[in-house]
Amino acid sequence: MKHLEAIAAHALAIAATVFALYPLFWVFGLALSPTGLSSDARMWPLSSSPSLANARALVEGNPHFWTQLGNSLVISFATATVAIVLALPASYALARFSFLGAKAGLRTMLWTQMFPGVASAVPLYAILQTLGLLDSRLGLVLVYATTAIPFAVLQLKGAFETIPVELEEAAWVDGASRLRAFITVVLPAARPAIAVTFLFAFMSAWNEFILAATLLSRESAFTMPVVLQRLVGEHAARWGVFAAGALVVSIPVIALFYVAQKSLVAGLTAGGVKG
């Protein structure tokens, strides 16, 4: 009985792993194949003669490649940082103070997540233009950060609620101001949730291409998703190069996921996903 169950569990896990990995191997094979998408159906696109031609085309065929990769990194890190820095105090206040408008604010924030971006993209463009932030990294960072804030706030609010109030009270009694106690005691205790929230905010910026394609004009200001998307745009279908690029953009996030693996479970459980 126990054996049967173990076998069933492993069978399930293995099946799911195959399901999860196959498309990734497919992209991997595509990236290494010298011809891109092969013209006949293959279960395994890995060519018998793997080549780095696609990777080379990705890097060498694009004079701005390193700048663009750098843009993506800088913008994503800045987005996550700004979102977290703004979300931390707000979510702390929502977790610890009861104040007029807290409930309404929270509800409104949830609602904004339900409004499709299609209708708000245009006015957003206008606002950025007014602020002179079109085609700038700062503008993009601000936009990404604000879209990341609601989820971050929910997540962190949940995390703060699991931290015992006594911890802060002890710090106050020990002579720390509210802000000081927040920084020296609450933040370190919320580290796993902050790490996970940071990861999500980072990912949202790292993966975004719709706004980036609209708000950025200079090729040297592009982020990687825009570059990739243009590889398989209307008149281009450089699938092999795209696949190589897909690997490039996936690897950092996979690495971050791996690093955050432990916190992921803890952070999500403590976090807003729970409430």
Which range of residues in 46-54, 73-81, 206-214 is near other proteins by CB under 8 A?
A: 206-214
Q: Is 180 a residue that touches other proteins (CB under 8 A)?
A: yes
Q: Tell me how far apart the alpha carbons of residues 215 and 222 are, in angstroms, rounded to a whole number.
A: 10
Interaction between residue 275 and other proteins (CB under 8 A) = yes
Angstrom distance (rounded) from CA 170 to CA 163? 13
Integer Cα distance of 162 and 142 in angstroms: 29
The stretch among 49-57, 73-81, 224-232 that binds other proteins (CB under 8 A) is: 224-232
* Pairwise CA distance, residues 54 & 244, whole Å: 6
Footprint (CB under 8 A) of other proteins, residues 160-179: 164, 166-167, 169-178
Q: Give me the least distance between CB of 52 and other proteins, in Å please.
A: 19
**In the window 49-108, what residues touch other proteins (CB under 8 A)?**
86-87, 89-90, 92-94, 97-102, 105
Secondary structure, 3-state, 61-124: CCCCHHHHHHHHHHHHHHHHHHHHHHHHHHHHHHHHCCCCCHHHHHHHHHHHCCCCHHHHHHHH
DSSP symbol at 39: S
Query: Do residues 270 and 158 make contact, with C-beta atoms less than 8 angstroms apart?
Result: yes
* Smallest distance from other proteins to CB 115, Å: 5
Residue 57 C-beta: closest distance to other proteins, Å: 11
Task: Say whether residue 246 binds other proteins (CB under 8 A).
Answer: yes
CB of 231 to other proteins, least distance (A): 10
Stretch that binds other proteins, among 48-56, 73-81, 139-147 (CB under 8 A): 139-147
Please name the residues in contact with 89: beta carbons below 8 A apart, sequence gap of 6 or more.
182
12: contact with other proteins by CB under 8 A: yes
Shortest distance in whole angstroms from residue 237 CB to other proteins:
3
Backbone angles phi, psi at 153, to 5 degrees: -65, -45
Which residue of 147, 159, 195, 197 would you call a contact of other proteins, by CB under 8 A? 147
- Alpha-carbon gap, residue 143 to 211, rounded angstroms: 9
Q: Which of 140, 222, 223, 244 binds other proteins (CB under 8 A)?
A: 222
Determine which residue in the list 13, 52, 74, 259 makes contact with other proteins, applying CB under 8 A.
Answer: 13
